[in-house]
Structures are given as structure tokens and as C-alpha cells.
């Protein structure tokens, strides 16, 4: 049987030859999960042979990756804001770009120790709300989703990241079952235009839930709903921060104007695309 180091090298080569740009990182994450060991275990005991059960799991993970299943789906977890998040088929894989929304909201909140009330519409894995509660020690949060499965996963992630005692959850289509007031509304709603979905990268199209991607005919439907509810849900001077698609900044500005909301900031992601609008 191969040793851990040999298995890692072989997997890296297989993925690299199959054209995966992130072969080295993918191989490492898949190996650790298949063997059920930590990075420290791998460094400490690199020459331990795999058990036959570990080898079987690794082979199955390898085949799934070769069929272009995202690594986060295979290992069932993704890191966001330095915290681990479990995933389920009902949750979008957290994207690094979404950290732009976190940074913007935190930057615009004047007092991080205040007892803020926060609501996250379309909570998914819970990554936005959980990371916010992690940074804001006296805040409490409400996570809203139309998917019960997403709420179950978000709750597990809130508890796993030790903010479960400051977090509630509601099954609701947007704000239908929600009353405020809140100091902060955050959302990474589905914002892809329905017609664009068939052309998305297969790793997204086939593995992220459609409910988390499809923003209606022009991708802006969720924003229309959220902006129309903002006045009812926010305290005076409250903040609304949403993630947007790379080409939606102008459309969001017009929508904000229609609802009498002042744009406070349009923040850009690491690729330089507008990624978050705060009002």
C-alpha cells in the first residue's frame, strides 16, 4: 500500500495531468479528508501506509474530482473568513468574493461592541451572518432562507463556530415572515439572470443549488423585493449591504434611487469588479 506522501504525490500528478490548475491544493484537501487526518498528522507521520479503507475513499474522491465535482462538495466543507463551514446540497459554496460584503459592512458600522440586530436574507451555509457575529461580540442575528435544508446547515455552522446562542432562524420567502427592526440587513441573494444559468461553469451549474443562483429574468428580482422592504425593516440610519453581480452596480444604483435609499459605498472584489453595494 502507498504511504501518505506517495499517495499525495500520485494524486497531485493525476489531477495536474487532467488539467486542474489547483491540482496541488485539491490533492492535499482530498487526501486529508479521505484519510481523516489533520495537516499536522500528515507532516508528523508522512510514511504511514494507507489502510485499504482509506485507499478506497481516496480513489472515490479522485474519480469525483476528475468528473469536475468541486473539492468543497467532496469534502463537504469550505473555509470562509478563516472559519470552517459545513456544506449541504442546499447551500452555495462560500466564495472568497463574498468577504467584500463582510469588510464593507464592518467598515460602515461605527461601533462593533453595540448590541446590533442583524438579518441575513438567503442565509445558505450561514457564512455571512456567522462571520459577522464572530466579529461583533454583542450582536444577535436572524438567518432567513426559503430552504429548510439550508437553515439546518446554517444552524450547525452557527453552533460549530460558537455563535449559535446569538442566532435565530426563520423559514421565509424573503421578508414575508419577518418583522424588524434591524440595524443591519445583509444578503448575497441569487443574482444570475435565468437565461445565463445554462452557460455557467459546470462546477457551479451542476453543484450549486439553483435557488441560490437564479435571480429571475434580469437577475435583479431579489433586490427589488429587498429594497422595497428596507424601510419597514431597518431602524432609522440602519444599513443595507448586498452582494451584486459584476455588471449590476448601475442597476442597483437606479433601484436604490427609486426607493429613496442613499448609496453609501460600492466596494470592489479582488478582481476589481464591483461586488457589494451598501445603502
Binding residues: 122-126, 145, 174, 188-191
**Segment contacting ligand GLN by CB under 6 A, of 135-143, 173-181, 189-197, 228-236:** 189-197
Q: Taking CB under 6 A as the rule, does residue 225 contact ligand GLN?
A: no
Residue 191 touching ligand GLN (CB under 6 A): yes
Q: How far is the CB of 159 from ligand GLN (least distance, A)?
A: 24
- Mask for 138-167, x = binds ligand GLN (CB under 6 A): ------------------------------
Binding test (CB under 6 A) with ligand GLN, winner from 70, 143, 190, 238? 190
Contacts (CB under 6 A) with ligand GLN, residues 46-105? 92, 95
Residue 204 within binding range of ligand GLN, rule CB under 6 A: yes
Q: How far is the CB of 95 from ligand GLN (least distance, A)?
A: 5
Q: Please report, in range form, the residues annotated as the binding site for substrate.
A: 188-191
Q: Which residues are annotated as a binding site for S-adenosyl-L-methionine?
A: 122-126, 145, 174, 188
3-state secondary structure labels for all residues of the chain: CCEHHHHHHHHHHHHHHCCCCCHHHHHHHHHHHHHCCCHHHHHHCCCCECCHHHHHHHHHHHHHHHCCCCHHHHHCEEEECCEEEECCCCCCCCCHHHHHHHHHHHHHCCCCCCCCEEEEECCCCCHHHHHHHHHCCCCEEEEEECCHHHHHHHHHHHHHCCCHHHEEEEECCCCCCCCCCEEEEEECCCCECHHHHHHCCHHHHCCCCHHHCECCCCCCHHHHHHHHHHHHHEEEEEEEEEECCCCCHHHHHHHHHHCCCCCCEEEECCCCCEEEEEC
Q: Which of 27, 29, 192, 267 binds ligand GLN (CB under 6 A)?
A: 192
Least distance from ligand GLN to the Cβ atom of residue 231, Å? 23
Nearer to ligand GLN, 219 or 238 (CB): 219
Q: Point out which residues pair with 276 in neighbouring strands.
A: 243, 267
Closest by Cα among 104, 99, 100, 138 to 118: 138
Give 62 or 248: the residue with its C-beta nearer to ligand GLN: 248
Closest approach of Cβ 27 to ligand GLN, in Å?
24
Among 100, 153, 157, 188, binds ligand GLN (CB under 6 A): 188
Q: Which residues bind ligand GLN (CB under 6 A)?
A: 92, 95, 188-192, 204, 213
Amino acid at each position: 500500500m502507498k504511504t501518505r506522501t506517495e499517495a499525495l504525490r500520485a494524486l497531485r500528478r493525476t489531477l495536474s495531468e487532467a488539467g486542474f490548475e489547483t491540482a496541488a491544493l485539491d490533492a492535499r484537501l482530498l487526501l486529508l479528508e479521505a484519510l481523516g487526518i489533520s495537516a499536522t498528522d500528515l507532516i508528523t507521520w508522512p510514511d504511514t501506509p494507507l489502510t485499504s479503507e482509506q485507499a478506497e475513499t481516496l480513489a472515490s474522491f479522485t474519480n469525483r474530482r476528475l468528473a469536475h465535482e468541486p473539492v468543497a462538495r467532496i469534502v463537504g466543507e469550505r473555509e470562509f473568513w478563516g472559519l470552517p463551514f459545513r456544506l449541504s446540497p442546499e447551500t452555495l459554496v462560500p466564495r472568497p468574493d463574498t468577504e467584500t460584503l463582510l469588510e464593507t459592512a464592518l467598515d460602515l458600522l461605527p461601533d462593533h461592541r453595540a448590541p446590533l440586530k442583524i438579518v441575513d436574507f438567503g442565509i445558505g451555509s450561514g457564512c455571512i451572518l456567522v462571520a459577522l457575529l464572530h466579529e461583533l461580540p454583542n450582536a444577535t442575528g436572524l438567518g432567513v432562507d426559503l430552504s429548510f435544508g439550508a437553515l439546518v446547515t446554517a444552524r450547525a455552522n452557527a453552533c460549530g463556530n460558537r455563535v449559535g446562542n446569538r442566532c435565530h432562524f426563520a423559514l421565509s420567502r424573503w421578508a414575508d415572515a419577518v418583522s424588524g427592526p434591524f440595524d443591519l440587513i445583509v444578503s448575497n441573494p441569487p443574482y444570475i439572470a435565468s437565461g445565463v444559468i445554462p452557460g455557467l461553469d459546470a462546477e457551479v451549474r451542476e453543484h450549486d443549488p439553483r435557488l441560490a443562483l437564479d435571480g429571475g429574468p434580469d437577475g435583479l428580482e431579489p433586490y427589488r423585493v429587498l429594497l422595497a422592504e428596507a424601510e419597514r425593516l431597518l431602524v432609522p440610519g440602519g444599513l443595507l449591504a448586498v452582494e451584486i453581480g459584476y455588471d449590476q452596480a448601475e442597476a442597483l444604483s437606479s433601484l436604490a434611487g427609486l426607493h429613496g435609499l442613499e448609496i453609501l459605498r460600492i466596494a470592489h472584489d479582488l478582481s476589481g469588479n464591483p461586488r457589494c453595494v451598501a445603502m
